[in-house]
């Protein structure tokens, strides 16, 4: 049997970075993946385009990860977003910058990123084995010895143990379970003595009590002001893209707020989202705009007049909610109807009753508590030779490339620590 210095579990973003880095610096590395090929989840990121990082200034980066962001400081400073871009450029992936500092491959294909990472590992002589399901970590006297696993070959399987004095767990969280992220790393960490912060879906679409009309489903609005209310108190607001879905709301700004929503729903708080559909106009300015439209197009139907303010697919819903006949002419609109319309456009209110499952969540929040992990190496403080990287840790970031950057940075740091 071939001898290895290091076993990396999970051939995702963090795992491939960890394995490739360690091998590049001289370690004999085995990379195990329980699916039939590496990078299954990575292929889905960024709607299949793979938002690899974000160009935001490094001093602002840590705020994107909430209360645990400062813990990532050493990892991200050790491998910065700029270095991530240079890494992929050096391996032949041209990158482009899009809105909000998001960095994508110029090809717009996540597959290119996966192929490059696989080749990076192979070129550094990493042994990659697919269809290997790790069952347990082997720990004795407070140190890692290896692992036991189930190896699948065609229609048969066998159990075996693989030994190494260093193991990196990079199995991801529970989001997109169809790609292999089923929470295995949490189970192993807990069995090894680690404490887990409760996990839940994050960057996840929200479900509304109000039914979304068929004609509005999949409607995207690029610039909406969104406010989050918990128990009638406004706790967050932002401006950006939203999307109406079959079950509720999604879009960049909704996903960003979803973490607070999920936590609040868990403790049975009342959660509401309000949408300002005309954020560039104050209430008085909107009233002036409405009056101008009604005077100028007074002989037109209200349905046609509202095209000046909101997307056509939303007009029927707007008029129905506000009990206004779509065939009513502009000059027939009463002052009370105009007031209802004005208030609705500035504050469309939805009661949030739930959220989508891990199947639709971009990341998992919660995980292995950071106080039990060395931030300079990613090594467990409880088990010698056991390391963790990526989403399995209790740190998650905003949408926009931040979570992949954390995976790359923690994976690289763990790989370097295991190469000595």
Residue 1 lies in a domain: no
3 state SS for 159-202: EEEEECCCEEECCCCCCCHHHCCCCHHHHHHHHCCCCEEEEEEE
pLDDT at 123: 98
pLDDT at 154: 76
Confidence label for 156 from pLDDT (cuts 50, 70 and 90) = confident
- Please give the residue range of the domain that contains residue 105: 6-198+367-417
pLDDT at 99: 83
Domain boundary among 356, 386, 408: 356
Domain count, the chain: 2
Q: Are 167 and 387 in contact (CB under 8 A)?
A: yes
Q: Characterize the bridge pairing of strands 206-208 and 248-250.
A: antiparallel
pLDDT in tens, 391-400: 999 999 999 9
- Both 188 and 269 in one domain: the answer is no
- Both 321 and 385 in one domain: the answer is no
- Both 15 and 121 in one domain: the answer is yes
Confidence label for 152 from pLDDT (cuts 50, 70 and 90) = confident
Residue 166 lies in a domain: yes
Residue 147 lies in a domain: yes
Mean pLDDT of 367-380: 98
Residue 362 lies in a domain: no
What CATH number is associated with residue 396? 3.50.50.60
Instruction: Tell me the C-alpha distance between 283 and 286, whole Å.
Output: 5
Confidence label for 255 from pLDDT (cuts 50, 70 and 90) = very high
- CA separation (Å) from 335 to 303, 322, 342? 17, 13, 10
- Both 349 and 212 in one domain: the answer is yes
Question: Mean of the per-residue pLDDT values for the chain?
Answer: 95
pLDDT in tens, 36-67: 999 999 999 988 999 999 999 988 899 999 99
- Both 187 and 233 in one domain: the answer is no
pLDDT at 62: 92
- Both 138 and 158 in one domain: the answer is yes
pLDDT at 59: 87
Confidence label for 178 from pLDDT (cuts 50, 70 and 90) = confident
pLDDT at 349 over 90: yes
- Both 14 and 128 in one domain: the answer is yes
- Both 155 and 239 in one domain: the answer is no
pTM for the whole structure = 0.91
Percent of the chain scoring above 90 in pLDDT: 93
- Both 125 and 274 in one domain: the answer is no
Domain boundary among 356, 377, 404: 356
pLDDT at 176: 87
- Both 189 and 209 in one domain: the answer is no
- Both 271 and 407 in one domain: the answer is no
pLDDT at 2: 65
pLDDT at 68 over 80: yes
CA proximity to 318, closest of 353, 342, 352: 342
pLDDT at 82: 97
Confidence label for 153 from pLDDT (cuts 50, 70 and 90) = confident
Percent of the chain scoring above 70 in pLDDT: 100
Which of 90-104, 153-167, 217-231 has the least mean pLDDT? Answer: 153-167
């Amino acid at each position: 049997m071939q001898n290895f210095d290091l076993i990396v579990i999970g051939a995702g973003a963090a795992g491939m970075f960890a394995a490739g880095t360690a091998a590049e610096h001289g370690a004999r590395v085995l990379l195990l993946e329980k699916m039939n090929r590496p990078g299954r989840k990575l292929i889905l990121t960024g709607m299949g385009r793979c938002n690899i990082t974000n160009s935001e200034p490094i001093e602002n980066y840590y705020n994107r990860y909430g209360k645990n962001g400062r813990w990532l400081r050493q990892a991200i400073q050790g491998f910065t977003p700029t270095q991530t871009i240079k890494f992929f450029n050096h391996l032949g992936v041209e990158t482009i910058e899009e809105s909000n500092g998001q960095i994508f491959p110029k090809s717009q294909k996540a597959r290119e990123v996966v192929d490059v990472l696989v080749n990076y590992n192979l070129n550094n002589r990493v042994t990659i084995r697919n269809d290997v399901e790790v069952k347990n970590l082997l720990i004795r006297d407070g140190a890692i010895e290896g692992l036991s696993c189930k190896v699948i070959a065609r229609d048969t399987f066998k159990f075996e143990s693989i030994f190494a004095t260093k193991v990196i767990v990079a199995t991801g969280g529970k989001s997109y379970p169809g790609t292999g992220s089923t929470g295995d790393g949490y189970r192993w960490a807990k069995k090894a003595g680690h404490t887990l912060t409760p996990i839940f879906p994050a960057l996840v679409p929200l479900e509304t009590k109000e039914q979304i009309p068929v004609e509005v489903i999949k409607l995207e609005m690029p610039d909406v002001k969104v406010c989050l209310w918990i128990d009638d108190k406004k706790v967050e607001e932002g401006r950006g893209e939203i999307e109406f879905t079959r079950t509720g709301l999604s879009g960049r700004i909704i996903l960003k707020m979803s973490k607070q929503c999920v936590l609040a729903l868990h403790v049975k708080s009342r959660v509401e989202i309000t949408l300002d559909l005309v954020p560039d106009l104050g209430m008085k300015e909107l009233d002036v705009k409405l009056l101008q439209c009604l005077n100028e197009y007074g002989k037109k139907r209200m349905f046609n007049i509202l095209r000046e303010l909101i997307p056509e697919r939303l007009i029927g819903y707007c008029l129905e909610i506000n009990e206004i006949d779509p065939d009513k002419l502009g000059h027939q609109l009463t002052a009370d109807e105009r007031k209802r319309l004005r208030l609705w456009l500035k504050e469309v209110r939805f009661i949030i009753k739930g959220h989508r499952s891990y199947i639709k969540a971009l990341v998992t929040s919660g995980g292995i508590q950071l106080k039990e992990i060395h931030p300079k190496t990613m090594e467990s403080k409880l088990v010698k030779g056991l390391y963790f990287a990526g989403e399995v840790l209790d740190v998650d970031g905003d949408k926009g490339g931040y979570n992949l950057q954390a995976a790359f940075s923690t994976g690289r740091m763990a790989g370097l620590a295991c190469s000595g």
